[in-house]
Structure 1
Amino acid sequence: MDHLPDTQHEPIIEEDSKLDEDDALDPRIQIELERLNYASEAINQLEVQLDEARRVCDEFKEKSEEELFQLEKKIGEAVSKARTYYDARIKLRDAKEKLIKAKHRFERAQALHVAAKEIAIASADYMDEAARSHQNSTTWNETYLQASAKAKEAEQEKYEADLDQQNAERVHFDLEQLVLKLQKESRRAINKSKPYYEMKVEYHKELDFQKRKVRGLENCVNEAKSQYQESLKNLERISNEIHEKRHQKALQNESEEQISDVSEQQLTYTHMLSIFKFLLSKTKNL
């Protein structure tokens, strides 16, 4: 993965001697530049760590596979004979997890169904009471209809959860029987190959840890890059705002200068007219 170059980030907003003091001291610029530099440093450091984590993971995988291969050669055919048993144990473990989830699902569905039925019954009672008292039962009727619909949904979920649990129990039972059967048939091979499969379990645990570490660092790098891009966009937006503000001020100054020129011209004309009138009056007196 390419690293960002270790260069000083130049401010996106160029220096200008005519830049207003408020613009030059805009705190947002410094904040975003600091975020930009921080993100850049984080990316460089994280990518170094990511490269190292990938290297360690690859080396561990290669080394462990070689050790397992050599151990299998040493133990012999007992490894292949016991493989069906250990594969069945893995499937049994997964089936047990699914069975636990299925039981939890059924328990939740059953509780929701009971609660929904109780609400529907209570709503029906209140609706009947309102009708006997000649009160408006519209609200309770709506509540009853909603509760009845919820009860039907809960009943359907309970039915599906029950089927799911029954299926999970059947799969778990079949695999449990298979493991017991294979254990009896391949007892010697299982005992002899036990060191190999124990090492394989530890290998998979460590490899899974290394992979999770790599994925975590990848997420951190992506997050730092997102922050870097966000700061660039913010600086560009601030730059555009400042230049637009400067442009509007320049237009305002130009308009004020034009008004000032017109006023000066009017003043000069008035002054010359006064002088002309004065000279004209002097001429008449001669």
Structure 2
Amino acid sequence: MRGELEKLNQSTDDINRWETELEDGRQKFRAVLVEATLKLDDQVKKIGRAVEESKPYWEARRAARQAQLEAQRATQDYQRAMEVLRAAKETIALAEQRLLEEDSRQFDSAWQEMLNHATQRVMEAEQTKTRSELAHKETAARYSAAISHMKQLEKKLKRTIGKSRPYFELKAKYYLQLEQLKKQVEERQARLSTAKGEYKAALRNLEKISDEIHERRLVSVSIEDETCHEVVPGEDSGNPSICSLAMGRPRSCSTSRPGTLDLPGGLTPHAPGPRSDCSGASSPECDPEPGDPSELQGDPVCLEKPMDSLSLQQSSNTKRDTFTVAPSLAPSSLLVNGV
């Protein structure tokens, strides 16, 4: 993505630069065109009728120059076709010579393919040479005709040609200058089109990358959703959650409950029952048990609410001990043997 962004930024800079240069080139072309028009009009006013009278000569001269250029191009094409034809013939001659020099003289498929290719090149070169030769003859004939026509007009319009020469020379000068500016404008226009094409290509690539990233995100989100749906039922069925473990863990009490009480007379403590089940303070199972009278003067130890009442049961092989109610103790306190 970073590379495409760099291409996009670079193409944007190129577009801005070539648009500026293109506009500058067009302005220069228009300025030169306006200047040429004004100066040529001034020359026409100075020279007068000689410009119109000598115009056929200058047009014939321009046509002769154009025919000369075409003849030169046709000559170059003909020479190039002759070189290709000569090279193709030399290739065939070398292949045949190597085949004759070998003792085995095995004419395999590779040699056959090479000879066929060389023969095809010879035929194409001969056709090209024929076409270029005809074009050269035609252009040479046109050039000769243009030169002869120009010379005839030169003899006929010799006086007016001399008078109008400054005008047409100035016109030729501006013509060349305008042609150069036109080529520059066309080159800048082509480069601007190339930069715009690169910009569009980079933009399409960025859009494609963005779509791919969006699709990958959608796929990853769907996979995560499927994974969550698969994991949550497993936790509910087999693996207990943290909250369930915390709820099933036993709570620790701030004050530990004694496991057994050291009761006199072989009495064992019974599980504490609710206080509402007791019949009253006169019941030995609900009344608190007094301890040693000398130890009742000390500080009593307060027990938790689950120890508010104790149900005591006498053993079957011992007599019932005498229980007295301590009037100074609250219902939630109990002293047993000083404890």
Same fold (TM over 0.5): yes
Residues 1:54 and 2:26 are matched in the alignment: yes
Match of 2:334 in 1: none
Q: 1:180 corresponds to which letter in structure 2?
A: K
Residues 1:162 and 2:133 are matched in the alignment: yes
Match of 1:70 in 2: 42
Deviation at 1:147, TM superposition (A): 4.0
Match of 2:307 in 1: none
CA distance in 1, matches of 2:76, 2:197: 40
Contact map agreement 2:88 2:118 (CA 8 A) in 1: yes
Contact map agreement 2:88 2:121 (CA 8 A) in 1: yes
Deviation at 1:108, TM superposition (A): 2.4
Match of 2:171 in 1: 200
Deviation at 1:93, TM superposition (A): 1.5
Match of 1:266 in 2: 237
Relative to structure 1, the CA distance from residue 255 to residue 214 in structure 2 (aligned partners, 3 Å threshold; closer, same or farther) is: same
CA distance in 1, matches of 2:12, 2:222: 39
Q: Larger RCO: Structure 1 or Structure 2 (Cα < 8 Å, ≥ 6 residues apart)?
A: 1
Relative to structure 1, the CA distance from residue 260 to residue 145 in structure 2 (aligned partners, 3 Å threshold; closer, same or farther) is: closer
The one of 137, 152, 160 aligned to 2:107: 137
CA distance in 2, matches of 1:102, 1:261: 86
Helix, strand or coil: the match of 2:178? Answer: helix
Deviation at 1:75, TM superposition (A): 0.6
Contact map agreement 1:127 1:141 (CA 8 A) in 2: no
After superposition, give the CA deviation of every residue in 1:240-264 in whole Å (9 maximum; x if it has no partner). Answer: 2222222122112112211221111
The one of 81, 84, 89 aligned to 2:56: 84
Deviation at 1:134, TM superposition (A): 6.8
Structure 2 unaligned blocks of 5 or more: 249-339
Matches within 5 A, 1:97-116: 97-116=69-88
CA distance in 2, matches of 1:57, 1:113: 45
CA distance in 2, matches of 1:172, 1:179: 10
Contact map agreement 1:124 1:141 (CA 8 A) in 2: no
Relative to structure 1, the CA distance from residue 191 to residue 244 in structure 2 (aligned partners, 3 Å threshold; closer, same or farther) is: same
CA distance in 1, matches of 2:95, 2:229: 80
The one of 62, 75, 89 aligned to 1:117: 89
CA distance in 2, matches of 1:32, 1:218: 24
Contact map agreement 1:43 1:225 (CA 8 A) in 2: yes
CA distance in 2, matches of 1:215, 1:104: 27
% identity of equivalent residues: 28
Aligned length: 243
Q: 2:36 corresponds to which letter in structure 1?
A: S
Relative to structure 1, the CA distance from residue 61 to residue 123 in structure 2 (aligned partners, 3 Å threshold; closer, same or farther) is: same
CA distance in 2, matches of 1:142, 1:235: 48
CA distance in 2, matches of 1:108, 1:38: 42
CA distance in 2, matches of 1:266, 1:227: 59
Match of 2:214 in 1: 243
Helix, strand or coil: the match of 1:137? Answer: coil
Contact map agreement 1:123 1:141 (CA 8 A) in 2: no
Structure 1 unaligned blocks of 5 or more: 1-27, 276-286
CA distance in 2, matches of 1:119, 1:45: 51
Helix, strand or coil: the match of 1:136? Answer: coil
After superposition, give the CA deviation of every residue in 1:20-57 in whole Å (9 maximum; x if it has no partner). Answer: xxxxxxxx25x544544454454345434433432332
Helix, strand or coil: the match of 1:151? Answer: helix
Helix, strand or coil: the match of 1:116? Answer: helix
Match of 1:233 in 2: 204
Contact map agreement 2:99 2:105 (CA 8 A) in 1: no
Deviation at 1:127, TM superposition (A): 5.5
Contact map agreement 1:95 1:168 (CA 8 A) in 2: yes
CA distance in 2, matches of 1:45, 1:153: 46
CA distance in 2, matches of 1:186, 1:244: 81
After superposition, give the CA deviation of every residue in 1:137-161 in whole Å (9 maximum; x if it has no partner). Answer: 3555665555444434433433333
TM-score by length of 2: 0.61
CA RMSD of aligned residues (A): 3.1
After superposition, give the CA deviation of every residue in 1:176-219 in whole Å (9 maximum; x if it has no partner). Answer: 22222222221221111111111111111221222223223323
